[in-house]
Structure 1
Amino acid sequence: MTPSRLPLILAAAASTLVLGACSTMPASMYSQASLPPTVQVPAGHMVAMETVATGELTYECRDKAAMPGSTEWVFVGPKATLADRAGKKVGTYYGPPATWEANDGSKVSGTQVAVAPSGAGNIPYQLVKANPAMGSGAMMGVSYIQRVALKGGAAPATGCAVDTKGARVVVPYQGDYIFWKAS
């Protein structure tokens, strides 16, 4: 081996060690402690699956409840692809009702427990109490679904008026959906 090649060999060996160390890192990429208390999952649960959703949220311009002549953007439904941390598609998210479906055909819906602000232009953090899963597979036993790490998706701040009632707008978003099971 020539001395000029030694740095290249050492760099390759170091890269292999670093990559090997990364493959043993824990899958969870977030902390409950970093979330608002209202959207933290109750004690006694463990992460069953982590997904990254990429998709869109649809809003419709409608009359405000009990406020004739006033309008607002109202959430109509989601449409997103769920991928694992490696980027492989593992399911879909759609609604109404809000439904998370794994590629194996199992699916779950739920009831919103809490939301908390997640930053300007982003939809809020969310905690959902899951209904019993339909079908057997990845969604079996899911007790809570948590929405975190959000980018975009908020309803437009303008453009909804009496003369535009019924108009729909589709807003792109990304977020992590963390599925929890009782431990």
Structure 2
Amino acid sequence: MNQTRLPSMLSLAAAVATVVTLSACTSMAPHASFSQTSLPDTVKVPSGHMVAMETHATGELTYECKDKANMPGQVEWTFVGPKATLADRHGKAVGTYSGPPATWQATDGSKVSGTQVAVAPSGPGNIPFQLVKANPAVNPGAMMGISYIQRVALQGGAAPATGCSADTRGQRTVVPYQGDYIFYKAV
């Protein structure tokens, strides 16, 4: 082999190795943490908390046609409960969301429920953004230390605009939805 070509071939090999290494590092880099900047202030998590886990929910919300509270003779679709699968950002199932009461359970058996702090509109046909103050977790695992849960990036899930009448009182309907649940811990 020509001695003058050897250094340039070594340089080329080093450059290729650098590109391969950088590409591998980029694909393994974690996703940027969720940003609250575009959310209404009412559903932003207070300072002093950081994102612990981001999940994507795919599921359904059940509604029942019931009498309106304190409005005799009038009916409306009333929320009964959720049923959804929670997945990580790679699509792997990491838990469930169900209720009532609203409960987020990780596949490791840890779970948390909470109290709604605030909601804000998220667009026509979508359930609202939501901020929940978490109760202490049950069972050790991923849900330990969760302080707040945000519901964001919503698609669907709103109660039907029609179909509830005195004649359909007691009937239930299921509405599909998707959204992200962002879990926070105190820093």
Please report the TM-score for the alignment, with normalisation by the length of structure 2.
Answer: 0.86
- In 2, Cα distance between equivalents of 1:140 and 1:55: 24
- In 2, Cα distance between equivalents of 1:169 and 1:34: 32
Task: State whether structure 2 residue 80 is matched by structure 1 residue 76.
Answer: yes
Task: State whether structure 2 residue 121 is matched by structure 1 residue 121.
Answer: no
Task: State whether structure 2 residue 51 is matched by structure 1 residue 47.
Answer: yes
Which residue of 1 is the match for residue 152 of structure 2? 148
Which residue of 1 is the match for residue 11 of structure 2? none
**1:167 aligned partner, one-letter code:** Q
- In 2, Cα distance between equivalents of 1:131 and 1:25: 28
The C-alpha deviation readout for 1:65-115, integer Å capped at 9, x for no partner, is 011110000000000000000000000000010000000000000000000
Which residue of 1 is the match for residue 109 of structure 2? 105
Task: State whether structure 2 residue 22 is matched by structure 1 residue 21.
Answer: no
- In 2, Cα distance between equivalents of 1:77 and 1:19: 43
Cα root mean square deviation, aligned:
1.6
- In 1, Cα distance between equivalents of 2:54 and 2:97: 13
Task: State whether structure 2 residue 187 is matched by structure 1 residue 179.
Answer: no
Number of equivalences: 170
- In 2, Cα distance between equivalents of 1:96 and 1:131: 14
Q: Which runs of 5+ in 1 are unaligned?
A: 1-12
**SS of match in other structure, 2:74:** strand
- In 2, Cα distance between equivalents of 1:154 and 1:16: 46
Q: 1:90 aligns with which of 94, 98, 109?
A: 94
User: Larger C-alpha radius of gyration, 1 or 2?
Assistant: 2
Cα distance, 1:146 vs structure 2:
0.3
- In 1, Cα distance between equivalents of 2:43 and 2:83: 22
Which residue of 1 is the match for residue 37 of structure 2? 33
Q: Which runs of 5+ in 2 are unaligned?
A: 1-17
Overall identity of the aligned pairs, in %? 75
